[in-house]
Structure 1
Amino acid sequence: MRLMKLPETFLENMKELLGGEYSAWLASYEENPHQGLRINTGKLTAETWKSISPYGTEQVLWTGNGYYIGDQDRPARDPYYYAGLYYLQEPSAMAPAALLPVDPGDRVLDLCAAPGGKSTELGARLKGQGLLVSNDISNSRAKALLKNLELAGVSNLCVTSETPEKLADVFGPFFDKILVDAPCSGEGMFRKDPDLIKSWQEHGPSYYAPIQRQILSQAVRMLKPGGYLLYSTCTFAACEDEDTVHWLLDQESELELMPLLLWEGAQPGINKEPVIRLFPHKIKGEGHFAALFHKKSSSSSQKISEEQATGKTRRKGQTGALRKGPSDAELGEGFLQWEQQLSSPFPRERMMIRDQLVYLLPEDFEPGWRLRYLRTGLLLGEQKKQRFEPSQAAAMVLSPSRYACCFSMKRSDERVIRYLKGETVSLTEEEAGQDAWPKNGWILVCVDGWPLGWAKNAGAVLKNKYYPGWRWQ
């Protein structure tokens, strides 16, 4: 890889920042950037991945489910990618979500979430419990975010496209954990994406620092006492990193900086602050910065009741006590027939019907929130006259153990690619003789047992119902 033309001002700043390590850092730009994938632990374990992986299994140090891949690998052209088994992500970008201590049942906000690399990891760690609100102010970027979350099989999600100020006005101190992977000058990604250099020359660190601080101020408003906020950037500039950390601590007395354990190659802050800096000459990855804050729970000004925080009169976990959900008549015969194939039905009290679309709402979701949504919970499907069409998102959260009518093919079966391209799937005589499949019923199509999408039983063939917007191109 030839040495790219880096701005002189940037080089001078890095020389001052790195001192004696400057030459090693600069030499790293002659190397190719590292590529990686992060497996979806909501669908499989690291042990399972190692047993089936068609790609390299060298692990990324700072996360237990990240792996390096080779330059010749094409994981985006693989059925396992379409099954949501992994997300393609630059290795250093895996750090922020790994450093935020998320537990199942938490209320989590990813404030600047698109395209979804960090949200998909947060969703996997929630294990379908609690609530994940993934937001991006750009509606077009939020659409890509939604696709990646649904591909990963995240069911307890809300995808919004709002300003941080609007979210803070609606939620107040509601979230247990918040991730702010803020828009930044992108200095740490120059090697991976040289086009960012032009953007840096137009809008450098001094442009982004005020934006980051405004976003963080609103994030703190939404963090519950006792909660954690992870701030990250992919830049080296101190004014966007340590200076912003110190500014936030000065502004918000209830916040404290939590130490982050260093791994091999990770560096502390400029003045040895307990934050993490990643440099491409020190790790197999690009540049990143992360700082973890804790909101003290002893501040009397922050001690508010659950009712004040959420505008609700119920406690966490009591969703069903106040909702009955739609009746059988409202859901329709088509839905009920589809539901019969489930080994355990979705909780009726968390269902909602809107514009003929049937949703499964997450725990702690409040229908009264007035926000610009792209998705509220898991879209189960659409009611159409006397029938029900299950959604692509619903397919991605199921499995052969959860849904009775499944057809699974091996990854090497050429019909897998044909299905992903939207073609009809021909069945052998033995495959077509499945007594458990109702005539013209919905079939969950899988690869090696992991769901891909839907088809309709037509005897000797499966009529393809794979979502057109996701098809193999």
Structure 2
Amino acid sequence: MKLPVEFEAKMRKLLGEEFSSYEQHLDDPAYYGIRVNTLKISVADFLKICPFNVTPVPWTDNGFYVSREERPSRHPFYYAGLYYIQEPSAMTPASYLPVEPGDKVLDLCAAPGGKSTELGAKLKGKGILVSNDVSVSRTKALIRNIEMFGIRNSVVLCTEAKYMVPSLHGFFDKILIDAPCSGEGMFRKGSNELKNWEQKGSEPYAKLQREIVDDAVKLLKPGGMLLYSTCTFSPEENEQVIEYMLEHNDDLSLVPMKMCGGFDHGHPEWTLSKREDVKHCIRLWPHKIKGEGHFLALLQKAPGKEEVLSYEKIKTPKLSDETKQFFKDCKMPIDWNHVREHQGKLFYLEEDLPKLEKIRVLRKGLFLGEMKKGRFEPSQSFAVALRPEEFEKYISFDLEDERTIRYLKCETLNVDIHTEGMHLIGTGGFPLGWGKIKKGRMKNKYASSWRWL
């Protein structure tokens, strides 16, 4: 791989004698991985049914290397949300943020959702996950991935961090910032990253990162923890951003993290003030590990007085008769005092949420479905958030049954089922979507935007 002259000089200075090893690895194929969705299945149980040859990723309990040629995106288990396809080094940020069930968690730069899906799985349905991205187009993939993972307690926003501060000041127990960066650690993945670096370099990103962390610290609860990460090597975007945070916030301190084989510590000599505590940061170099370049820093805010926030009031929705009839078959516990209705669409979020003033909200909880004239249309996201035992009418096709793929292709199917009406459809014991049965024919309700192509 031909590196930009300026970048090569920079890396020679940073790596010294290791530069030749780094340069050689740039021509190696990029690593490919999957991360198990522990919200739906344990790692042990997944390995019993895993259709691929996998080997563990050493820095996370539920990550595995898999060959790209095995095409994990072309398997029904992918559509059931049993795993997320992710570059192995990119698994570290969400893995290293110590999220516990019940936490209020913010993924600040969330699209396309790789980190959010893991954070949501770690919550185990308790607490709340707020996933935000400034790009409207990128939030489409973010919403789909969160929904496919069956995360019930999520809110999706599309705004800049500064607009969140008035409503959510000191609200979050845990915050992840996978910051926009110059992408130097991803050069092996393709030419777009190289072109972007040649056009912009590091400086505009370093300025943006400081603006983001300034607002993120305000959103963090006293005693809360924040993980900052990038996929670049630039000290200006890594150690120096952490240096900036610590110098501007006396109540922040770095937290040591577990080191794995091949990991490097942060470099005090690359800060402006030669701060020794940045050694608690972690650097991942592609010539030392089986993965791309990454940087991690875990910080904690000192305990203190918590903010008093203003919470929204929820008006219990008036349900149509058809909606009531549908939910007679639903065994998932739903507190209807926490169901929001917007233009006939129903959203369920068990946790109370502060009033979100002047913030673009794209999703506020699990989308259950839509009340339409004469019927209730359950959503795709509701289907994959359910467990088989949580809906009375459930049909599971075998993995080898041709109807499984035909269903994912949105085809109408013949079924030997005597009950009629809306059914939850799945495979291998995992729900995929809905189907409406009448006289042995199933009208396919699988979301066309999710379909197998």
TM-score by length of 2: 0.95
Match of 1:416 in 2: 404
Report the alpha carbon displacement of residue 94 of structure 1 after superposing the two structures with TM: 0.3
One-letter amino acid of the structure 2 residue matched with residue 297 of structure 1:
P
Match of 2:41 in 1: 44
Report 1:455-470 matches (<5 A): 455-470=435-450
DSSP 3-state at the match of 2:265: coil
- Is 1:96 the counterpart of 2:93? The answer is yes
Report the alpha carbon displacement of residue 345 of structure 1 after superposing the two structures with TM: 3.4
Match of 1:260 in 2: 257
Match of 1:105 in 2: 102
Is the Cα contact below 8 Å between 1:280 and 1:287 reproduced in 2?
yes
DSSP 3-state at the match of 1:167: helix
Match of 2:424 in 1: 444
Report the alpha carbon displacement of residue 194 of structure 1 after superposing the two structures with TM: 2.3
Picking from 287, 292, 306, the partner of 2:293 is: 287
DSSP 3-state at the match of 1:227: strand
Match of 2:316 in 1: 325
Match of 1:133 in 2: 130
DSSP 3-state at the match of 1:72: helix
Report 1:70-469 matches (<5 A): 70-271=67-268, 273-298=279-304, 303-305=305-307, 308=308, 310-312=309-311, 325-326=316-317, 330-366=318-354, 369-427=357-415, 431-433=416-418, 437=419, 439=420, 441-469=421-449
Deviations 1:138-159 (A, max 9, x none): 0110111001100111111110
Is the Cα contact below 8 Å between 1:339 and 1:345 reproduced in 2?
no
What CA distance in whole angstroms lies between the structure 1 residues aligned with 2:187 and 2:54? 26
Is the Cα contact below 8 Å between 1:109 and 1:179 reproduced in 2?
yes
Is the Cα contact below 8 Å between 1:143 and 1:374 reproduced in 2?
no
What CA distance in whole angstroms lies between the structure 1 residues aligned with 2:330 and 2:371? 18
Summarize the Cα distance change of 1:386–1:71 in structure 2 as closer, same or farther, 3 Å threshold: closer
Report the alpha carbon displacement of residue 30 of structure 1 after superposing the two structures with TM: 1.9
Is the Cα contact below 8 Å between 1:324 and 1:348 reproduced in 2?
no
What CA distance in whole angstroms lies between the structure 1 residues aligned with 2:400 and 2:210? 50
What CA distance in whole angstroms lies between the structure 1 residues aligned with 2:337 and 2:190? 47
Summarize the Cα distance change of 1:384–1:86 in structure 2 as closer, same or farther, 3 Å threshold: same
DSSP 3-state at the match of 2:443: strand
Greater shift in the superposed pair: 361-370 or 460-469: 361-370
One-letter amino acid of the structure 1 residue matched with residue 282 of structure 2:
I
Is the Cα contact below 8 Å between 1:100 and 1:292 reproduced in 2?
yes
Is the Cα contact below 8 Å between 1:56 and 1:67 reproduced in 2?
no
Summarize the Cα distance change of 1:422–1:344 in structure 2 as closer, same or farther, 3 Å threshold: closer
Is the Cα contact below 8 Å between 2:252 and 2:300 reproduced in 1?
yes
One-letter amino acid of the structure 2 residue matched with residue 253 of structure 1:
D
What CA distance in whole angstroms lies between the structure 2 residues aligned with 1:229 and 1:362? 24
Is the Cα contact below 8 Å between 1:136 and 1:161 reproduced in 2?
yes
Picking from 7, 12, 18, the partner of 2:9 is: 12
Report the alpha carbon displacement of residue 323 of structure 1 after superposing the two structures with TM: 5.7
Structure 2: 5+ residue runs without aligned partners?
269-277
One-letter amino acid of the structure 2 residue matched with residue 38 of structure 1:
R
What CA distance in whole angstroms lies between the structure 1 residues aligned with 2:362 and 2:314? 23
What CA distance in whole angstroms lies between the structure 1 residues aligned with 2:336 and 2:149? 23
Identity of aligned residues (%): 46
One-letter amino acid of the structure 1 residue matched with residue 397 of structure 2:
M
One-letter amino acid of the structure 1 residue matched with residue 292 of structure 2:
E
DSSP 3-state at the match of 2:117: helix
What CA distance in whole angstroms lies between the structure 1 residues aligned with 2:409 and 2:86? 24
Report the alpha carbon displacement of residue 369 of structure 1 after superposing the two structures with TM: 4.2
Match of 1:21 in 2: 18
TM-score by length of 1: 0.91
Is the Cα contact below 8 Å between 2:110 and 2:178 reproduced in 1?
yes
DSSP 3-state at the match of 1:401: helix
Greater shift in the superposed pair: 118-127 or 54-63: 54-63
DSSP 3-state at the match of 1:273: helix
One-letter amino acid of the structure 1 residue matched with residue 135 of structure 2:
S
What CA distance in whole angstroms lies between the structure 1 residues aligned with 2:150 and 2:68? 28
DSSP 3-state at the match of 1:239: helix
What CA distance in whole angstroms lies between the structure 2 residues aligned with 1:179 and 1:5? 33
Structure 1: 5+ residue runs without aligned partners?
313-318
What CA distance in whole angstroms lies between the structure 2 residues aligned with 1:172 and 1:33? 40
Match of 2:54 in 1: 57
Is the Cα contact below 8 Å between 1:257 and 1:293 reproduced in 2?
yes
Match of 2:273 in 1: none
One-letter amino acid of the structure 2 residue matched with residue 464 of structure 1:
N
C-alpha RMSD of matched pairs (Å): 1.4
Report the alpha carbon displacement of residue 8 of structure 1 after superposing the two structures with TM: 1.4
Report the alpha carbon displacement of residue 324 of structure 1 after superposing the two structures with TM: 7.1
Report the alpha carbon displacement of residue 341 of structure 1 after superposing the two structures with TM: 1.0
What CA distance in whole angstroms lies between the structure 2 residues aligned with 1:178 and 1:362? 20
